[in-house]
């Protein structure tokens, strides 16, 4: 499978109000399908129903929830402002190109019940090939044990389960999956309502030793599960 590294951000302006918590991550996958569908409806449909790749393959798209600077502080509320930013990426050229073209053609972006004004998009520089890196996530990493229980960085089995997810992504991309991982730091436990249920995880800083091509792909894709819902986005 062809791999080309691309990640970019879009600057957005939102209203001076709160975004309901269930849409912080819950709207992300719908945004991805909508933006790709603007350019390639068939590709968006294949990505959505899983027919673009072997059954059970993870969807190789990363997105962050919108982050707002200068927002008013309000307890237990996700406040917005006119200075927001959303990141997108994919290691698959067709997906990355459709995302960028779809965003560039828009003046507005619907994020759940909120309309965000698109102010512009910018490619981020591609990091050089590295076989040992420290990766810090902007959003919680989702790791799930076999018994369908979410794990946090301090839990037994977290590292092994996250490595299994990384190997699965490597297999899908046709890359070597040998890797070593160490958790260096973790954020607090976060609980979000998202598409089809509750998600529990924590942001993490990890040291990863792996094939440089796989590390590059993870920068555009994310760590852990449900990257298309905005989880595990790498700073």
- Helix axis angle for 28-39 and 93-104, nearest 10°, is 90
Residue 225, pLDDT above cutoff 80: yes
Q: Render pLDDT for 62-118 as a digit per residue (tens, 0 to 9).
A: 999 999 999 999 999 999 999 999 999 999 999 999 999 999 999 999 999 999 999
Residue 16, pLDDT above cutoff 70: yes
pLDDT confidence of residue 2: 62
- Could you give all domains of the chain from N- to C-terminal order, each with its CATH number? 6-123 (3.30.70.1890), 132-229 (3.30.70.1900)
Contact, 35 vs 98, CB < 8 A? Answer: yes
Residue partners of 119: CB distance under 8 A and separation at least 6: 10, 11, 12, 13
pLDDT confidence of residue 129: 77
Q: Which of 28-32, 48-52, 171-175 has the lowest mean pLDDT?
A: 48-52
Q: Render pLDDT for 124-150 as a digit per residue (tens, 0 to 9).
A: 987 777 889 999 999 999 999 987 899
Q: In what order do the strands lie in the sheet with 204-210?
A: 132-136, 204-210, 179-186
Q: What is the CA radius of gyration of the chain?
A: 17
């Amino acid at each position: 499978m062809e791999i080309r590294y691309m990640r970019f951000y879009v600057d957005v302006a939102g209203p001076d109000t709160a975004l309901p918590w269930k849409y912080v991550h819950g709207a992300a996958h719908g945004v991805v399908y909508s933006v790709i569908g603007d350019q390639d409806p068939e590709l968006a449909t294949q990505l959505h129903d899983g027919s673009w790749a072997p059954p059970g393959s993870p969807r190789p798209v990363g997105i962050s929830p919108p982050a707002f600077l200068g927002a008013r502080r309000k307890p237990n509320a996700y406040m917005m402002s006119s200075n927001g930013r959303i990141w997108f990426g994919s290691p698959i050229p067709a997906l990355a190109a459709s995302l960028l073209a779809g965003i560039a053609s828009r003046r507005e972006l619907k994020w759940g019940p909120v309309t965000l004004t698109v102010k512009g998009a910018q490619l981020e520089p591609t990091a050089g090939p590295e076989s040992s890196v420290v990766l810090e996530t902007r959003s919680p990493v989702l790791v799930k044990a076999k018994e369908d229980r979410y794990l946090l960085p301090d839990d037994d089995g977290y590292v092994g389960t996250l490595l299994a997810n990384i190997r699965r992504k490597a297999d899908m991309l046709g890359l070597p999956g040998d890797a070593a991982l160490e958790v260096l730091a973790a954020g607090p436990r976060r609980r979000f309502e998202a598409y089809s249920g509750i998600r529990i995880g924590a942001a993490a800083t990890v040291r990863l030793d792996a094939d440089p091509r796989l590390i590059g792909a993870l920068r555009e894709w994310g760590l852990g599960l449900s990257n298309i819902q905005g989880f595990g986005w790498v700073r």
